[in-house]
Chain A
Amino acid sequence: MDNVLIVGATSAMAAAVARRLAATGASLALLARNADKLDTLAADLEVRGAARVSRHTFDALAPDEHAAAIEAAFDALGQVDLALVCHGSLPDQQACQDDAGTALRELAINGGSAVGVLTHIASRMERQGSGTIAAITSVAGDRGRQSNYLYGAAKGMVSRFLQGLRNRLYASGVNVIDIKPGFVDTPMTADFDKGPLWAAPDKVAADIIRAVEKGRHTVYTPWFWRYIMLVIRAIPDPVFRRLKL
């Protein structure tokens, strides 16, 4: 993984991946919304040993600018071994229920913009004929639950999109990975009470890198979420309806 493109690079999980790769001397192209935070992260990665770091501002809600940003990032790297899509937000479910505008906006950030970005990335990778595309979705996408089904719907859409993309890009030698984290202790989840199921971003980062190296397709991280979600998915609907999940 010498040349890596990261969308939403200043998010905690993305930054943890970038730091691990910087230590191995990788070249990185970073896309993120906040230019100051992007500069700080780029400096950090250079000190940690990244060969080259290019910065590209990116706003999930400005889809007209996505193609140019992705093109610039690909051009900065030349060859791309891994394109990692990490941007997102954690919507307030109640606000999304009360206001359709909010719901559509969150759907655009967590679902639509990911699909758009992945479409741009996919055509470049297809032409290149090698490499890995990985996107961070969520265990929330595995089944709609009343506590966060808007987020779940957006992430579930991206998961299904990745499934099809994997199928399409198989012939061109590009692997597509769906990364499904459970609870991760990041600034996005700062307000939650943390329990034993919570993982550190660096743990997730290690899992992501291993998944790329091993050519995996769908990865639950930490690993035990695969089994938790197996149970959640298996609960019959008449029972599930009554649960407060």
Chain B
Amino acid sequence: MKLSGWGRHPVVDAGQACPTGESDALALLASLRDDQSLIPRGLGRSYGDSSLAPLVLDTGNMDHLLAFDTDSGLLRCEAGVSLATLLQVFVPRGWFPAVTPGTKFVTVGGAIASDVHGKNHHVDGSFSDHVTEMRVATPEHGVVTCSRSEHPELFHATAGGMGLTGLILDATIRLKRIQSAAVIETTLKAANLQEALDLFEAHRSATYSVAWIDCLTAGTAMGRSIISLGEHADQGALVAHGSQKIAVPVDLPGALLNPLSIRAFNTLYYQRVRRKTSTARRHYDPCFYPLDGIANWNRMYGRRGFVQYQLALPQDAGVAGLREVLTRIVQSGRGSFLAVLKAFGDGNANPLSFPIRGYTLALDFKLGAGVLELLDELDAIVIDHGGRLYLTKDARMSAATFRRCYPAWEAFAEVRRRYGADRVFHSQQSRRLEI
């Protein structure tokens, strides 16, 4: 069948295996011929080719909750459980994922493999920082239970390891207490990039913070932003989200998103917020997952699909580095529809985890002539400043770029070899990046 990531580029022909339980999955791994390899796939929300391979192991039927400790908030569940399920089951009881990305349609296994981050990275770290233990099926050593103290090298390589160290069977993750399903959201306006970064700094103690940034406007207003800060409300109903309301039923014509329409959108989006500061109380669903309300929103970019580009720059590259990146994007006129800026806290010990202390910028680019060349130029700027690119969004970086972004890649490759995963676990991305 035809398979792609969320960006709908590239598209590959893939066989799909859907084991209905652990024993099925282990039997499948044992049955592979020497020349066969596969990659696990959850809900297919990584954007590029990291969940694509000639054979894909779909974890959708391995979606059971296994145990929950109501005192500690520790949940053990299979890798195919989605965050949407976690929210549905646990929000009514007053628990919330410690870290959540911008969509709830990801699996726990995928969240670990991408070591996803959320709007609270600067205070709470990334998803795997709240994972205490995993069971991973490896070709060489069978099913291995790993944690920070037991087989720590496998634990750290698997967290952020893009599914390349083995099949995550189940994981124990920590949920956090909430008193209400509502979030108190404060919106701030920043007239330019420096002001945006200053606001992030001034609000370091806010639990959640993220900015929408205009990537089309040059000059003194370059980097004008709308910053959202969030705190879980102290009181209110504990009601989980409902079902999706609307969908994009067909591929929209790609030409709908052009420099003119994107510029109009960006200006409207910025001007829509009138006051310098405003506060609102909203349900977690529109607050954390604004695009989840529209099924298949990725069709908005037309048939050819799009690439996401997410970079992180270290703190000391700061405003100068971001300004250089933004200047190049503004010049290109290809600025993106929704660009997101966020201040990261400290990174962790995982060799392939993306976040590093500093700033991250995420952009969508509709595929078209000149886009890939622009991204190559941006790669050079990012590397110059000691930054890196997010593997979960990537569909096109070179092996050389990957190695400069992730200096610990050799340690990762070593763990892969030790557990025999380099024989069995490969994605189109891992082949391209020569991991």
Tell which of A40, A47, A190 touches B68, judged by Cβ atoms closer than 8 Å.
Answer: A47
Verify B61–A187 contact, CB threshold 8 A.
yes
A30 beta carbon closer than 8 Å to chain B = no
B73 beta carbon closer than 8 Å to chain A = no
Cα–Cα distance between A23 and B240 once the two chains are bound (Å)? 13
Cα–Cα distance between A190 and B1 once the two chains are bound (Å)? 12
Cα–Cα distance between A47 and B68 once the two chains are bound (Å)? 6
Q: Which of B193-233 contact A (CB under 8 A)?
A: none
Q: How close is A54's CB to chain B, nearest CB, in angstroms? A: 17
Q: Which of A25-56 contact B (CB under 8 A)?
A: 34, 36-37, 40-41, 43-44, 47-49
Verify B67–A47 contact, CB threshold 8 A.
yes
Verify A187–B18 contact, CB threshold 8 A.
yes
Verify A41–B20 contact, CB threshold 8 A.
no
Interface size class of A (residues with CB under 8 A): 10 to 19
Q: Which chain B residues border A190 with CB–CB below 8 Å? A: 16, 18
Cα–Cα distance between A38 and B64 once the two chains are bound (Å)? 11
Verify B18–A43 contact, CB threshold 8 A.
no
Map CB proximity to B onto A124-151 as digits: 1 under 8 Å, 0 otherwise.
Answer: 0000000000000000000000000000
B22 beta carbon closer than 8 Å to chain A = yes
Verify B20–A187 contact, CB threshold 8 A.
yes
Q: Which chain A residues border B65 with CB–CB below 8 Å? A: 43-44, 47-48
Tell which of A10, A23, A40 touches B66, judged by Cβ atoms closer than 8 Å.
Answer: A40
B254 beta carbon closer than 8 Å to chain A = no
Verify A41–B64 contact, CB threshold 8 A.
yes
Q: How close is A40's CB to chain B, nearest CB, in angstroms? A: 5
Q: Which of B66-82 contact A (CB under 8 A)?
A: 66-68, 75, 78
Highest count of chain B CB atoms <10 Å: which of A37, A47, A187: A47
Q: Which chain A residues border B347 with CB–CB below 8 Å? A: none
Q: How close is B19's CB to chain A, nearest CB, in angstroms? A: 9
Interface size class of B (residues with CB under 8 A): 10 to 19
B89 beta carbon closer than 8 Å to chain A = yes
Given that A36-B21, A187-B18 are known contacts, is A23 also in contact with B89, CB under 8 Å in the complex? yes
Given that A23-B89, A48-B89, A187-B61 are known contacts, is A43 also in contact with B21, CB under 8 Å in the complex? no
Cα–Cα distance between A23 and B20 once the two chains are bound (Å)? 22
Tell which of B16, B18, B21 touches A37, judged by Cβ atoms closer than 8 Å.
Answer: B21
Verify B89–A47 contact, CB threshold 8 A.
yes
Q: Which chain B residues border A40 with CB–CB below 8 Å? A: 21-22, 64, 66, 78
Q: Which chain A residues border B78 with CB–CB below 8 Å? A: 40
Q: How close is A201's CB to chain B, nearest CB, in angstroms? A: 10
Q: Which chain B residues border A193 with CB–CB below 8 Å? A: 1
Verify A37–B20 contact, CB threshold 8 A.
yes
Given that A187-B18, A187-B20, A190-B18 are known contacts, is A43 also in contact with B67, CB under 8 Å in the complex? yes
Map CB proximity to A onto B10-43 as digits: 1 under 8 Å, 0 otherwise.
Answer: 0000001010111100000000000000000000
Cα–Cα distance between A44 and B61 once the two chains are bound (Å)? 13
Cα–Cα distance between A193 and B2 once the two chains are bound (Å)? 11
Cα–Cα distance between A190 and B61 once the two chains are bound (Å)? 11
Q: Which chain B residues border A12 with CB–CB below 8 Å? A: 61
Q: Which chain B residues border A37 with CB–CB below 8 Å? A: 20-21
Given that A23-B89, A187-B61 are known contacts, is A44 also in contact with B21, CB under 8 Å in the complex? no
Q: Which chain B residues border A43 with CB–CB below 8 Å? A: 64-67
Map CB proximity to B onto A1-30 as digits: 1 under 8 Å, 0 otherwise.
Answer: 000000000101000000000010000000
Cα–Cα distance between A10 and B62 once the two chains are bound (Å)? 12
Q: How close is B307's CB to chain A, nearest CB, in angstroms? A: 27
Q: Which chain A residues border B67 with CB–CB below 8 Å? A: 43, 47
18 contacts between A and B (CB under 8 A): A23-B89, A34-B21, A36-B22, A37-B21, A40-B21, A40-B64, A40-B66, A40-B78, A43-B65, A44-B64, A47-B65, A47-B68, A47-B75, A48-B65, A48-B89, A49-B89, A187-B18, A187-B61
* Closest A-B pairs by Cβ, 10 of them: A44-B64, A47-B65, A187-B20, A44-B65, A47-B68, A40-B64, A43-B66, A37-B21, A190-B18, A48-B89
Binding site for B on A (CB under 8 A): 10, 12, 23, 34, 36-37, 40-41, 43-44, 47-49, 187, 190, 193
- Beyond A40-B21, A48-B89, A187-B18, 18 extra complex contacts between A and B, CB < 8 Å: A36-B21, A36-B23, A40-B22, A40-B64, A40-B66, A40-B78, A43-B64, A43-B65, A44-B65, A47-B66, A47-B67, A47-B68, A47-B75, A187-B20, A187-B61, A190-B16, A190-B18, A193-B1
